[in-house]
A and B are shown apart, each in its own frame.
Chain A
């Protein structure tokens, strides 16, 4: 059952088109993350769904009701903002109850809902304080509480953790996931942080310049990126790309890059690779094997820089005339200058057409 449905949505600010005929269906109870770099139109899309921006064209449905022209309060949504947006002159309690009072909900019901939200978010001791007396993490909890008391099925988050420091961010991330698991409502979550996206999402919509590049579950996005942009955007350090040409020899397929030929016969191509075709071979740093005994197709490379990270070790090397990174589990050291033999796991690699940038 769809919970939120966006159909052919367009939005322009004057002459600038931010969204152009965008379509998106979100299932009931789904956690959908809108992921993209700053300025790609994520907040704009979210504000359209919330009713805070007038759309230029298209329709928005929430629970199969056309809400395109409805006021934010009538859409059955709650929203959490990056800057928390708590009313500075009101106590936490009043912040939580403000919307209910405006809606003339009976006082007993208001008290009940505020109490429940405060319990869920563990902010009971803060109820009498002003926002200025709270830490960033506490403020964002209150902001989430404000969405919670509205008793709605759709939560909208606009980069809720971006203003927090790293430790609080991971804490609150878990909290939001827990909240979703217990409430089982629909959540649309905007972020530019791929870790948040991968850890939280049921499905991720990767956006670029107002266009959804790929909409899939996190593992599909990670393992089988639909195009070059998604492949480069997800993963840190990002995927290694080698531009080259397809070559067929002795019944095997190779991608030749600057004198080095990578055997790609094991790659599960969707369409047959054509000899002479210009392609981009993509391999994630963690999908490279180093000094693997018995690896048929191995290439010699020299270690430039080593970054030991405790649990794993990040190597920067030069191969086929370009820099690439390799992530190795374990604590084995490779001092700079040492040579290693690299082999790629083609079963989980990606090959893109160099012109269309689409996955092959």
Chain B
């Protein structure tokens, strides 16, 4: 073993001196600590600290008891770690009359987000596919209307939508909110899918038509399998957008259906009693956990999807 290792050393050494004698050859050696690297990494570190610091404060505060918070420095790590604030934020914090914490809001948000995301993506992807590949009569007009829709401020439409929902008999229900989210997601998602499908090779679509595949066969068997990346992008957009929504949640539902964001607001801004900073911090982190998870989990899938798509068939 030793022999082989030292032999290896010798050849490496010879190669190095050969290299010096014969002039430059092979891969260029890189300097790690160049001025450029110091500036780039320095900037990156400062920026990440700037964004990570608040998160750090939130986490340590949520793990402290109230007495410690009152006397201590906000940057100091907890002397005595307690999960009491988390439990309270999830299950006991009071908003108005009921005292079951964020859990109710969490389940409401799940019941709002899941159907909204699925329905809006399903409809928008078919819309985008039809617009990109089938150029039906009036397609351009339809597309223009949809895009204009994306630029109208939400506030303008709130009252009319309240009336429409009331007439439909779904005002104040989860169904109503799901419908609203689906509709408001439509312009941007359709644009997203249309552009993606329009970017796929047109001859693939033509080949499928010569092969006798119709609208749905082409959609499900040719287009869908090639479109994982864009579905992941759409899912990230919709899950975070709908989960973080506050305005529609307040306007279109009744208190027992309030989503997690609204519930969080009510806990944090509750005026009764002392401000429980630790509970507020825990509640805020809990609320942000879902979008955060979506980013972490699907971010990797997203990169892999793009890499797979880059190897063109």
Q: Which parts of A111-161 form the interface with B (CB within 8 Å)? A: 130-132, 143, 146, 150, 158
Q: Assess whether B217 is in contact with A132, with CB atoms less than 8 Å apart.
A: no
B289 contacts the other chain (Cβ, under 8 Å)?
A: no
Chain A, residue nearest B309 (CB): A88
**A99: which of B203, B211, B312 is its contact (CB, 8 Å)?**
B211
Give Cα A47–Cα B217 distance, bound, in whole angstroms.
Answer: 21
> Does A89 reach chain B (CB closer than 8 Å)?
yes
Kindly report which residue of chain A lies nearest to residue B313, judged by CB atoms.
A88
Q: Give 1 or 0 for each of A51-83: 1 = CB within 8 Å of chain B CB.
A: 110000000000000000001110001110111
- Interface set, chain A 77-114, CB cutoff 8 A to B: 77-79, 81-83, 85-89, 98-99, 102-103
Contact B207 A73 (CB under 8 A): no
Interface size on A, residues (CB 8 A): 29
Whether the Cβ atoms of A132 and B204 lie closer than 8 Å is no
Closest to A87 in B: B222
Q: Mark B207-250, 1 if CB is under 8 A from A, else 0.
A: 11111110001000110011000000000000000000000000
User: Is B4 an interface residue, CB under 8 A from the partner?
Assistant: no
B residues near A146, Cβ cutoff 8 Å: 207, 211
- A34 to B201 Cα, complex, angstroms: 23
Q: How far is the CB of B198 from chain A (nearest CB, A)?
A: 15
Residue of B nearest to A83 (CB): B203
Q: Does A50 interact with chain B (Cβ within 8 Å)?
A: yes
Is the beta-carbon distance between B312 and A85 smaller than 8 angstroms? no
The complex places the Cα of A87 from the Cα of B226 at a distance, in Å, of 9
Dominant secondary structure of chain B at its interface with chain A: helix
Q: How far is the CB of B106 from chain A (nearest CB, A)?
A: 37
Contact of A102 among B204, B211, B311, B312 (CB under 8 A): B211
Interface residue B206 (Cβ < 8 Å from any Cβ of A): yes
Residues of chain A with a CB closer than 8 A to B311's CB: 132
Q: Please report the C-alpha to C-alpha distance between residue A51 and residue B210 in the assembled complex, in whole angstroms.
A: 8
Residue of A nearest to B135 (CB): A54
| Cβ contacts under 8 Å, B201 to chain A | 83, 85
Q: Are B210 and A82 in contact (CB under 8 A)?
A: no
Cross-chain contact of A98 among B206, B211, B225 (Cβ < 8 A): B211
* Contact of B210 with A73 in the complex, beta carbons under 8 Å: yes
Question: Which of B207, B211, B217 is the one whose CB lies under 8 Å from A81?
Answer: B207
B203 touches A81 (CB 8 A): yes
Contact status B203-A82, CB under 8 Å: yes
Chain B 50-79 interface 0/1 with A at a Cβ cutoff of 8 Å (1 = within): 000000000000000000000000000000
A79 to B, closest residue via Cβ: B210
B313 near A52 (CB under 8 angstroms)? no
Q: Which residues of B contact A50 (CB under 8 A)?
A: 206, 210
Closest-CB distance, B76 to chain A (whole angstroms): 55
- B210–A132 contact, CB under 8 A? no
Distance in angstroms from A130 CB to nearest chain B CB is 7
Chain B hits for A85, CB < 8 A:
201, 203-204, 206-207
Greatest chain A CB density within 10 A among B201, B207, B209, B312 is at B207
| Chain B hits for A81, CB < 8 A | 203, 206-207
- A86's contact among B206, B210, B225, B313, by CB below 8 Å, is which? B313
Question: Is A89 in contact with B204, judged by CB distance below 8 angstroms?
Answer: no
Instruction: State in angstroms the CA–CA spacing of A85 and B115 once bound together.
Output: 36
Chain A: minimal CB distance from B139 (Å)? 13
Most chain-A CB neighbours within 10 Å: which of B201, B204, B212? B212
The answer to whether A52 touches B211 (Cβ under 8 A) is no
Instruction: Kindly list chain A residues whose C-beta atoms are within 8 Å of the C-beta of B312.
Output: 88, 132
Q: How far is the CA of A78 from the CA of B207 in the complex (A)?
A: 9
Q: Give Cα distance in the complex from A47 to B205, angstroms.
A: 13
Binary flags per residue of A31-52, CB closer than 8 Å to B gives 1, else 0: 0000000000000000100111
Centre residue among B209, B210, B226, B311 by max chain A CB count within 10 A: B210
Given the contacts A81-B206, A82-B203, A88 and B212 also touching, CB distance less than 8 Å: no
Instruction: List, in ascending order, chain B residues with CB within 8 A of A88's CB.
Output: 226, 312-313
Q: Which residues of B contact A77 (CB under 8 A)?
A: 210
Known: A83-B203, A87-B222, A88-B226. A72 touches B313 (CB 8 A): no
Chain A: CB-nearest residue to B225: A89
Q: Is the CB of A87 within 8 A of B209?
A: no
Give A150 to B208 CA distance when docked, in angstroms. 13
> Which residues on the B side are within 8 Å of A47 (C-beta)?
206
A73 touches B222 (CB 8 A): no
How far apart are B164's CB and chain A's nearest CB, in angstroms?
Answer: 37
Distance from A15 Cβ to chain B, minimum over Cβ atoms (Å): 15
Q: For the complex, what is the distance from the CA of A262 to the CA of B90, rounded to whole Å?
A: 102
- Taking the closest CB of chain A, its distance from the CB of B153, in whole angstroms, is 34
- Knowing A83-B201, A132-B313, the reply to whether A72 touches B225 (Cβ < 8 A) is no
Cβ–Cβ < 8 Å partners of B213 in chain A: 98-99, 102
Could you tell me the distance between the alpha carbons of A47 and B209 in the complex, rounded to whole angstroms? 11
Q: Which residues of A contact B217 (CB under 8 A)?
A: 102
C-alpha spacing A99/B313, complex, angstroms: 19
Residues of A within 8 A of B207 (CB): 79, 81, 85-87, 143, 146
Contact B212 A102 (CB under 8 A): yes
> Are B211 and A73 touching (Cβ within 8 A)?
yes
Q: Which residues of A contact B209 (CB under 8 A)?
A: 51-52, 71-73
Query: B94 → chain A, closest Cβ, in Å?
Result: 53
Can you name 19 A-B residue pairings with CB atoms under 8 Å? A50-B206, A51-B209, A73-B210, A79-B206, A79-B207, A81-B207, A85-B203, A85-B206, A85-B207, A86-B313, A88-B312, A98-B208, A98-B221, A99-B212, A102-B213, A130-B313, A132-B311, A132-B313, A146-B207
A residues near B (Cβ < 8 Å) are 47, 50-52, 71-73, 77-79, 81-83, 85-89, 98-99, 102-103, 130-132, 143, 146, 150, 158
Ranked 3 nearest A-B pairs via Cβ: A88-B313, A99-B211, A73-B212
